[in-house]
Structure 1
Amino acid sequence: MAHSRGQFSSRLGFVLAAAGCAVGVGNIWGFPTQAASNGGGAFLLVYLALIFILGYPMLVAELLIGRAGQANPMKSMQSVANSPFTHHLGAIAGIGSILVVTLIFTFYSIISGWFISFTLAPVFSLADLSEQSRWLTDFSLSRNLVFTLAFGLLTILVVKKGIKDGIEKWATRLMPLLFLLLIVSALYMMTQEGAMAGLKAYLIPDFSHLLNPDLLANALGQTFFSLSLGSGAMMVYGSYLNKQDSVPKLAAQVTLVDTGVAFLAGLLIVPAMYVAMAQGVEIFNEHGQLVDGDNLVFTVLPALFETMGSAKYVVSFGFFFLLVIAALTSSIAMLETPVAFVCEVTRLDRNKVVWLVGITCVALSCIIVFNFASLFGLVITISTQYAQPLISLMVCLFAGWVWQRNKVLAEIKQGDEDIEQSLFWKIWPVYVKYVCPLLVGFLVFRAYTA
């Protein structure tokens, strides 16, 4: 059966779907913990600068390549090649991005399964099912397996509906709900003892930290991963864009929404840490380093919720439900990337491909669950620390050096006829050619020499 490509039905639908792709654990969990570990307001200041210095130009590049190719990352990268060598190189980079996002999905679905189980735990506690509630929050093989499968199935069911009726429809529902939950949760947290100290630490920069090279490196990495760059997902979403849409404008809107979520998450999580400190929960060690940062949402925050009396059930449920939403908006983009590739290569019916690819990805997740100690951290390191920055560097080089400038301009002008005279076009081509490769190259160098 011939594969008919879908398309976003509205600009708002695309912005919310692409922002949902970018929004996830990296924004709700990663950004606040990075901020707390790297000088609070100083990290926020550097991050906000870098999201527009690196994140926005790179996002424009990925979306443009995707829209130009109107295909999966492999074919889209090949479509901008200018020689047999770059054609083969584009294929390698495109397939690499598909493999990377597939690997990310395998561990992401495990973590997201934990979010579901922690969301259900207070419900079971209220129902006086304490033993079942403990099982939901204990690290066990059975718990991990059940909820990895549950989250994987949930993602498959959304992606199965296609671009307009699945991804776009759910993004336009889930993203506003995510913002609402973040705002309500942050406002509630501000009423707790110790929250103002956390708010001060988050918003007021300690400029002595700006000279710390680790802060710059961590902010650069957080900026990079915050927008899902180098995973091929944004390229696929770009391929579903209408040719008449202005990519620079849409990319700016996606960047603003994504940054807004990260900022709101910081307004919730960082004050929550200080509220926990006021309740006697250990947050920082004697050297000022964050205790158990990687497991913050599963250890420190539940300990805080336990101090809130009967409100703990509502607060805990709301917080982890928020994380489930953020995780789902990202996971559907992750699964859509290999689905688009298989659909276009095999020409099979989309529904069959979604089930085939989805079950394969979930099966890989289950293998990691059964071999958690040896595989979980390894897969995260390979995919996010080594492969993703390298793929993004390839995208930089293709957008800045391989893709002919007149063809880039022709592609952009389809959505904005007057862009050639704009400040954007005076800066972006040179910027993506020289500055972005240097910044991404620094991340690659740091990853391979660490």
Structure 2
Amino acid sequence: MKGDIMTEKNTLNAKPRDIFSSKFGFIIACIGSAVGMGNIWLFPYRVGQFGGAAFLIPYIIFVALLGMSGIVGEITLGRTMRTGPLGSFKKALEMRGLKGGEFIGLIPVIGSLATAIGYTVVMAWVLKFFIGSVSGEMIKSEDSGAYFGEIATDFGSVPWHIIVLVVTFAFMAFGISKGIERVNKVLMPLFYLLFVIIAIRVAFLPGSGAGYDFMFNPDWSALANPQTWVFALGQAFFSLSLAGSGTVVYGSYLSKKEDIVSSAKYIAIFDTLASMTAAMVIIPAVFAFGTDPTSGPPLLFITMPSIFKAMPLGQIIAIIFFLAVMFAGFTSLVNLYETSVEAIQNKFGLSRKISVGLILLLGLAVGLFIENGDTVSTWMDIVSIYIVPLGALLAAIMTYWVCGKNFARENAQIGREKPIGRWFEPLSRYVFCGVTIAVYILGIFYGGIG
């Protein structure tokens, strides 16, 4: 029945709730939230920094561990409580006769909104470079660093900033099944397709073979370096969008007919494929042109444009590259803003369009003042080091400890035919919670690990 597919009655709240129309729609939306700048500008750098393919061993171990514990837990909490972190934390504490859940739930909501605000600034830069690639302005500029510097200044990208928010508003205003789900179903397959096209082109560049040798001939000695494991953990943790926010919210829109464990597995797999695809583009390209695979904005907005300028058919490749990055960015952005949109919509009973409009106006009001490259970098460091992992830890504690020993297993089992194995409680209650504490402490010690 259509009503069973598109909306469900909240068992803890009688209001009908828009949900994802299919398991595929949910999975691809979660993949869209996970795949973002970290896959593109940080993962290739980490591979280069820590032994090439050797880095993949701890990375894949942590992705599997976090996927089967962290992602499963956040989806389960959201689906069971039928609300985001604000409402979920409140209901979790009320199960114990305690109050203050909404106050604690503000932490992941603030973390998600703050991340979205900083991410919007970066997306404004991406949009500028995409338009510059289409017009040829970016390719014709003599100095890629100077071209980037023109917009990475105070109030340097205001029109692009506004356009990004308007487009995001348009995507989100139509709701979950008709808005966010449909957008992800189009943009995420296109992201993978476009990056595969670029990877094929890069493979024919003279000198690109050295990049493949570097990636697939691992330096096993890197595994003896503790930092390899620390930064592999950080890369996996942040790439999977574990924050106690967006995944909880998306989980709240998931039908109880769907298999959470299976969904988490596919999210982890395709997020890893996105990272590998980006590495297959960037590492061979930087070897072919003898440049440095610097992490962060310099890679995306200085190194790669310099490579495109020197590459045959570089303008076309630049257009495809920044279009793909833009697709990944928008799918992440709608997830980041959705946490706070859901919070005020659920808390104050406002319409979706008003809620989206209020949050995006708030995002613009704050974001305009951090458009400077140094400012937004500091902003994102503070959020990712101090707020995001704390939100993930709080969600884990609520799911695996406050709600009771059997809460996660019993609710994650709903919609799944095969019984969840005995591994689940030790992995989730002890290993995942311990690892999340480690991410928080190590992030402070190293000044960020993801």
Do the structures match in fold with TM over 0.5?
A: yes
CA distance in 1, matches of 2:69, 2:62: 10
- Pairing 1:37–2:49 present: yes
- Pairing 1:220–2:233 present: yes
CA distance in 2, matches of 1:233, 1:77: 14
CA distance in 2, matches of 1:179, 1:373: 28
Give the direction of change, closer, same or farther, for the CA distance of 1:315–1:382 in structure 2 (3 Å limit): same
- Runs of 4 or more, structure 1, over 4 Å off, are 126-131, 133-138, 290-294
For residue 108 of structure 1, what is the aligned residue in structure 2? 119
Letter in 1 for 2:399: A
Map 1:14-413 → 2, pairs under 5 A: 14-81=26-93, 82-85=95-98, 87-88=99-100, 90-125=101-136, 137-140=148-151, 141=153, 143-277=156-290, 281=291, 283=292, 291=294, 294-309=297-312, 311-369=313-371, 372=372, 375-413=375-413
Contact 1:156/1:355 (<8 A) preserved: yes
CA distance in 1, matches of 2:112, 2:431: 25
Letter in 1 for 2:430: Y
Describe the SS at the equivalent of 1:149: helix
CA distance in 2, matches of 1:127, 1:441: 43
Q: Deviations over 1:85-117 (max 9, x none)?
A: 4x52x4344211010010001110111111111
Letter in 2 for 1:172: K
For residue 286 of structure 1, what is the aligned residue in structure 2? none
* Cα drift, residue 139 of structure 1: 2.3
Describe the SS at the equivalent of 1:5: strand
* Cα drift, residue 418 of structure 1: 4.4
CA distance in 2, matches of 1:395, 1:175: 27
CA distance in 1, matches of 2:379, 2:20: 32
Letter in 2 for 1:345: K
Describe the SS at the equivalent of 1:244: coil
Letter in 1 for 2:387: A
Q: Which has the higher helix share?
A: 1
User: TM-score under structure 1 normalisation?
Assistant: 0.90
* Cα drift, residue 301 of structure 1: 1.1
CA distance in 2, matches of 1:224, 1:329: 18
Q: Deviations over 1:135-176 (max 9, x none)?
A: 974523564212111111111110011101110001000111
CA distance in 2, matches of 1:204, 1:84: 56
- Pairing 1:446–2:448 present: no
Q: Deviations over 1:119-147 (max 9, x none)?
A: 1112222799979x999745235642121
Q: Which moved more, 1:400-409 or 1:338-347?
A: 400-409
Describe the SS at the equivalent of 1:158: helix
Describe the SS at the equivalent of 2:364: helix
Contact 1:306/1:312 (<8 A) preserved: yes
Letter in 1 for 2:32: G
CA distance in 1, matches of 2:52, 2:304: 18
For residue 3 of structure 2, what is the aligned residue in structure 1? none
CA distance in 1, matches of 2:294, 2:87: 45
In percent, how many aligned pairs have the same letter? 28
CA distance in 1, matches of 2:269, 2:364: 32
For residue 433 of structure 1, what is the aligned residue in structure 2? 429
Q: Which moved more, 1:109-118 or 1:373-382?
A: 373-382
User: TM-score under structure 2 normalisation?
Assistant: 0.90
CA distance in 2, matches of 1:199, 1:392: 35
User: How many positions carry a matched residue from both structures?
Assistant: 429
Describe the SS at the equivalent of 1:405: coil
CA distance in 2, matches of 1:93, 1:31: 32
Give the direction of change, closer, same or farther, for the CA distance of 1:60–1:127 in structure 2 (3 Å limit): closer
- Structure 2 gaps of 5+ residues are 1-13
